[in-house]
Amino acid sequence: MGSANRALWRSSGLITGRHCNTVSKVVHPQSPTKWLYFLADVPHLIKNLKADLVSGKVITLPDDVVKANNLNCSFVSITPVKDLVEFENHHDLKLAPKLTNATISPSHFEKMKVSHALHLFSKSVSSGLQYLVKEEGRGNKYLSTAWFLDVFNRWFDFMTSRYPAVALSRLNCDKYEEALIFLTSIINLVQSMKIGDKNDWKPVQAGIVMSTNSVLGIQEELLSMGYKFLLTSRLTQDCLENLFSLVRLKNRIPSPLAFKYALKVICIAQFLKQPHAYQGNYQEDDRDIAIDFLDQPLKLPSTELDLKDLEVEISEANCIDDIQKAELNSLYYLVGYCLHSIKKNEEICTGCFVEVTSCDLSDQDSATFTILKEYKQGCLTQVSEKAFSMMLKVEVMLRNFDESVLMTSKNVKRLLLDKAEEITVHDLFLNCHNIKQKLLSKYLTVRLHILCKQMKRKRKQELEKVKNQSQGELGSKSMTMRKLVKKLK
């Protein structure tokens, strides 16, 4: 939140602070019977809050919040998150797969990305920290950071809702009242918490309080007028940031003339979707566009397969005992996700689904992370011991494949699926809807996606290493040349 915005707020008579009543609206200058609400951009706020944490600042929670949530510590810092990143550094299956070193040590341009902030303020990171405390012997101080990240992840969801299911609405009175109580508690929390060593009132605190207060007023006004719900994402400037991202696609710092030409091209083409090759700083604005000249039909590759190279022997370098306990918990969650997707998108009977799921988790140690990640008891799919045992064998099989084999095969998924069916031939399930084949296929699809991201990250690190070495060699050579020139002079 810039100084210009704060000056505008002051000149408009808006007030927000630690010890005052917030004023976030003024009488509309053209219509005295209406209110004009002021908000800071919520994605910018979450980025600024993340920036304070990763810079090393400690957030101190008020004593009443610590007591009300049964926390053992009033301090929130980036240290527990760094521990989680280090803990999962060599794991193939991670508790928080989107959390990387770039999240906690961002470059100049990575600081601008909302996605990196959301990778930190997420349920996965919060649950991962709780798992470290419960299963890996970390101190209870980690729970304060886990609670804080979870709370602001939920706050961001309410403040940028894109679907009626998570929007502010009076259609479900209990959920509506719960949402209002939560947003009010966020205002009280931000007003009383301290960021850094000093007790100064930070701009990010003013923005969060002002924006939350305005959303509470806007939803009250609109819902009282008869609207069924409020999609708060329409109050952000995502569409504007999407436009700026497209302008900066070819030139990150365009001149005024270059900006003008780029804007003309974008307006003519109505090109308002992010290219797949470009990761913009903001979430994509999902509003409908009347004209899209660049929409082309999807061309699918040929489905004809060459099966000559599918017979590949795999080594036994890895076994079930080599998989870490945390990875088993991540695997359990991943299999549950696959089963939920199958139930939602494919034809399956109750009998098939009951056979691969479970209601009793008392004897399944690998279900700990899934239980921690549940918003309410039983909301995530629980996997039966029989199904989990089968998928564990498939995971071991996948780890024993040589990377070069996967990179050179003509149809990797078909190759892996054939091998998976071969090693699980004795794992029998109901066959009325092919639940076993569907689970194997879905899991391998998801797992290959994870593997590709890991390989891409590995290649990027190797290229950066080579680039740094080349720059170092060039630097030493130029230094030698300068010394030689001085001697000649």
Q: Say yes or no: 39 and 179 in one domain.
A: yes
Say if 276 falls within a structural domain.
Answer: no
Say if 255 falls within a structural domain.
Answer: no
Q: Say yes or no: 229 and 337 in one domain.
A: no
Question: Sign (positive/negative) of CA torsion 78, 83, 86, 88?
Answer: negative
Say if 488 falls within a structural domain.
Answer: no
Q: Global pTM?
A: 0.82
Q: What is the pLDDT of residue 305?
A: 43
Say if 53 falls within a structural domain.
Answer: yes
| ∠ CA 399-459-304, rounded to 5° | 65
Q: Say yes or no: 136 and 15 in one domain.
A: yes
Q: What is the pLDDT of residue 468?
A: 77
What's the residue count for the chain?
489
What's 320's DSSP letter?
Answer: G
Residue ranges of the chain with pLDDT lower than 70? 1-6, 269-318, 361-363, 472-481, 483-489
Range of the domain at 91: 3-235
Say if 475 falls within a structural domain.
Answer: no
Cα separation of the two ends of the chain: 55
Among 400, 421, 425, 410, CA closest to 310: 410
Q: Say yes or no: 173 and 54 in one domain.
A: yes
What would the pLDDT profile of 298-331 be if each residue is shown by its tens digit?
A: 554 444 444 444 444 444 556 777 788 999 999 9
Say if 474 falls within a structural domain.
Answer: no
Say if 134 falls within a structural domain.
Answer: yes
Q: Say yes or no: 198 and 79 in one domain.
A: yes
Q: What is the pLDDT of residue 325?
A: 92
* CB-count burial class (<10 Å; 0-12, 13-18, 19+) for 142: buried
**Helix, strand or coil, per DSSP, at residue 27:** strand
Task: Give me the number of domains the chain comprises.
Answer: 2
Q: What is the pLDDT of residue 460?
A: 82
Q: What is the pLDDT of residue 311?
A: 46
Tokens of 229: 């719900």
